[in-house]
Amino acid sequence: MEIKNFTIEDLTRLTKNGKVSVKEIAESVIKEIEKNEDTIHAFISIDKEKILKNAEELDKKEKKGKLYGVPVAIKDNMNLADTETTAGSKILKGYISPYTATAVEKIINEGALIVGKTNMDEFAMGSSTENSAFFKTRNPVNPEYVPGGSSGGSAAAVSANEAITALGSDTGGSIREPAAFCGVVGLKPTYGRVSRYGLIAFASSLDQIGPFAKNVKDAAIMLEVISGFDWHDETSVNREDIDFTSLIGEEIKGKKIGLIREVSDFQIQKEVKSSLEKTANLLQKSGAEIVDVSIPHLKYALPAYYIIAPSEASANLARFDGVRYGLFSEGKNLRETYEKTRTEGFGTEVKRRILIGTFALSAGYYDAYYLKASKVRRLIEKDFEKAFEKADVLLTPTTSKTAFKIGEITDPLEMYMNDIFTIPVSLAGLPAISIPAGKDEKGLPIGMQLIGKWFAEKELLQIAYALEKGLK
């Protein structure tokens, strides 16, 4: 069988009907990995023998679960018991997880076949997966280009058919941006919708686990599996509305789609701008109404984010000292041991963000930087609240331009600009989905972002599905 021709629904139906075994699926996945992985480098760790062994065990079990027999890749900042978890960093090389992250455990309980751990920007800090301590992942559409980041390995694995679906994490756009660059669907849930327990923290008030998939319905199925309250994570929300597929296929007549006025203030690649117009027209033809909305503080989102996120990273990464786990570089005393371990273990981008965050939180600067950024964050939330009084969902490009060549961007500020349309959504804790919406003149995918109201993923996915159908 050719794994690339199937979706989650297809595979679960075939396996449960006994028309195909999980071992056959595993063999097909391994075939795709052997064909592509030497070029793409989507995975940090992969064990082909273990994949086959787990497949054989699944074949012996009762054929049940929303993901029975479905090959799933996991971003390497999520713990999987008895497996190395590095978060793309030398400082965690050799760290073996003693437990499994809640989101990962949920997909295993639904019968998923774990393929491996995917490459990522170190500690999820990056927009290209060039910041991994081990190697760069390449875009399956064109290997000369980046796959986006920080979840570039997960996006590339789905795009290259090395997995049917994958888990990533999104702090400022790390699911949506690589989904756009690789031409797949990427969904960031509302903050608190999915447990963060077992996810190695970057910025705790922003991090959220979400799925990559080949289509909107597969993303909805994955979200149904991983959603829900978890007593291990006090930021997870106890809600019963975890049915995300029942409205898929329903018409969207009368739905109001908001176009953000301030988006035009930014420089956008001509093909991306054209795709935005085409997408809005398609939604209008489907019966939706296009309305004008304003997010006045949109331009302040990027600077606010790059104070808040590094500040939280500075606190979260203080635990990596070489004493309890991971890399250990012995010095003459404890201070020198810390310095040597962190100097050798952390990469350039991680060090940069730790320094920014430590400075922003330091005495005399907290009020001037972190406190002001937090106030701006609240203003952005209020902007979205007002916008949603007029619209059911908002439409923007996922990124202002398509994928860039590996090594092309060396200026950190230019790199940060890649997330200009995804970061405001993260600051507000909103759900959003990136959908493939055509290609540029180089054949590189373009992504469109739909932004939903807080905990309104069901409606968001209904509209996303209608758009996806119209774009085909």
Q: How far is CA 189 from CA 209, 215, 226, 289, 421, in A?
A: 7, 16, 10, 24, 16
What is the C-alpha R_g of the chain? 21
Q: 174 catalytic, yes or no? A: yes
Q: How far is CA 274 from CA 152, 261, 280, 400, in A?
A: 25, 16, 10, 12
Q: How many CA atoms lie within 13 A of 128 on its CB side?
A: 25
Bridge partners, 309 (sequence order): none
Of 28, 128, 132, 174, the active-site residue reads 174
Contact 251, 285 (CB under 8 A): no
Q: 75 catalytic, yes or no? A: yes
Cα of 323 vs its chain's centroid, Å: 30
- Token code pair at residue 247: 């409205």
Q: How far is CA 135 from CA 44, 92, 123, 138, 291, in A?
A: 9, 15, 14, 10, 44
Of 75, 106, 188, 453, the active-site residue reads 75
Burial of 267 (0-12, 13-18, 19+ CB in 10 A): exposed
Of 150, 154, 227, 426, the active-site residue reads 150
Q: What is the DSSP string of 109-168?
A: HTT-EEEEEEP-SGGG--SSS---SS----BTTBTTB---SSSHHHHHHHHTTS-SEEEE
Residues whose CB falls within 8 Å of the CB of residue 382, separated by 6 or more in sequence, listed in order: none
Q: 205 catalytic, yes or no? A: no
> What residues are labeled active site?
75, 150, 174
